[in-house]
Chains A and B, each alone.
Chain A
């Protein structure tokens, strides 16, 4: 394990040095949203004309929505109105390292890094401390990129893809989440900063997890990320985004859009570990994570799986979904969402069955602690011609203490009589008797809570790439600190 970790760290540090994101000269830009700002963003990124036009259309649509006061308010979350003119829409260039060493870092953050078992070098990366090692130029970085190139896999930043692969972008962008889809999707389409682009050609099994690559870059993640992953016929790719380390950001609103497209016999596995700054113990500050994620199973026998572990953000509002167009296509959603202190979450999924013999599985585990409010919202829609459709849904809530809340809003719409649906739900509390049982066997109170919670989440953690399953468990334990006693 250690030599692989070493190699990956080296790679990540190299990328940090040269920039996975294109270098942009620093420039002051006033806050606020206007057509001029959109043009500026596009110009700064050297985007082709089609991209600018798409952004402008999206912006005009967003403006019209604002005029109609169409900002959605139906979610089970409360927050003060967002002033869209009080945001800087042009993302600042990559920060130069500005700390001499880790001792200058907020001790709270340092303590969390240590608890999560993040290696020292990575801690420095995340904190923006200058790294002084010298790397061999015949590096792992070259090998990594070479391996992907050999396989024909395109994996680059979204901005780079717009410039280098405009044909692919034009073909697929906005076909799963058009800018008209919803309020935040319109905003994202107008001002998106960056994200990832992945294209896996026919018959290719992507030779590695596109995951560890992002661990360090998570610190650079922008406010309005846009990601597009296309798996052509027979292709396979597993992608993981996120970082267990808590990332603070002065920008409160994060409205990302992720589009996945799977052709015949293709498979996309998309895992997320999200631990954005959740706000302080009194609910002040914290990031709003309003995300639109959708996968289109366009091809026959295609499969898209979403796995998420959401422990951060002050407010999480997202429904990674699957459109099961192709016959015999499969959609899966596995989720653990934790709300502690004053966090709020309204999350779930939509499975839309369109083709024949389609299958979907939903396993949602919500954990509420402190004053957290956790809502599962799921839609299973079986259209008229979706013969033989099958869905299995299990949504479980775990309550810790008696000041938190768990809510469930399942929407089930079945228009075909041959469909089969199973829905199970449970709500439970970590009882004093469960905790006492574990403590009586020698476990400390906090370890006892961890154990019960991990057992509760096991079904979801099983779906994560192994390295992240271990981190996710640790993350959950750290996030639950102070929730008992």
Chain B
């Protein structure tokens, strides 16, 4: 069964139609990359899948894990295993990373009818994931994303993903703002999460990340529609030729 099936998806933000008929199928175990020029709708697609309420779905269907994703609220989608690593993670002053993560994990566990984890059981789990991402213990007591560098914020997103163990992980331009070392560590973290039960959607501008996280499929989004799909080599072709020809073909000068 497909983990994710998007059929003729149209979505509007602030009265403007951004997604103009997306068709996409993703199977569990796969890594797909969504690329495209600025304004093509990549981030919008990511936010819509995460069920952001200010993004209105006007047409189409999204079937996720056999369920109607459109009918779910953001927290329900999250508890069903959808995770979005944000492009611009917000700050939550006064709430420590450890407390926030445990609350999130327990919200999901509660939804699934599992027992909540207390701090004593949670900490070793958290430390293990911190190690994987080469992050410092001290981060646990800092407020969520407060005074974090860009790279730290992105790594924090992957840390959260590692703790919450989603079925569908959507990474929205996770590579933007990362230096070479941070990129390597983030990629390491994401690759460690690859599993037959999980699908990963990488939304990205540049081919660079895909050197580290090699995708099974690459899709090029132009003006709200998928203009072309292919294997990992498509990304290399884009790097070489740019989006120009595809944009022209899609009717954008």
Contact = CB atoms under 8 A, between A and B. Distances in A.
B230 interface: no
B94 A434 contact: no
A454 B94 contact: yes
A207 interface: no
B92 A455 contact: yes
A166 B16 CA distance: 76
A457 B95 CA distance: 10
Interface stretch (B99-107, B231-239, B240-248): B99-107
Contacts of B86: 437, 440
Interface string A285-318: 0000000000000000000000000000000000
9 contacts: A436-B53, A436-B74, A437-B90, A440-B78, A442-B104, A443-B107, A445-B75, A452-B92, A452-B95
B67 interface: no
A196 B94 CA distance: 35
Nearest to B170: A440
Contact of A440 (B84, B93, B95, B100): B84
Contact of B104 (A434, A436, A443): A443
A455 B104 contact: no
A442 B73 CA distance: 10
Given A434-B92, A451-B95, A443 B103 contact: yes
Contacts of A434: 90, 92
Contacts of B143: 455
Nearest to B79: A442
B58 to A, nearest CB: 20
Contact of A441 (B54, B73, B93, B160): B160
Q: Please tell me the size bucket of the interface on A.
A: 20 to 34
B148 interface: no
Given A454-B95, A455-B143, A458-B94, A442 B54 contact: no
Given A442-B107, A452-B95, 18 more contacts: A431-B90, A437-B92, A440-B77, A440-B84, A441-B78, A441-B160, A442-B104, A443-B75, A447-B103, A451-B100, A451-B103, A454-B94, A455-B92, A455-B93, A456-B93, A456-B94, A457-B94, A458-B95
A437 B87 CA distance: 11
Contacts of B54: 432
Nearest to A457: B94
A444 B84 contact: no
B11 interface: no
Nearest to A445: B75
B94 A455 contact: yes
B94 A441 contact: no
A485 B52 CA distance: 14
A51 B107 CA distance: 59
A455 B164 CA distance: 22
A65 interface: no
A443 B108 CA distance: 8
A63 B179 CA distance: 74
A439 interface: yes
B50 interface: yes
B75 A437 contact: no
Interface string A159-203: 000000000000000000000000000000000000000000000
A439 B83 CA distance: 11
A460 B35 CA distance: 46
Given A451-B103, A454-B95, A455-B93, A440 B50 contact: yes
B165 to A, nearest CB: 12
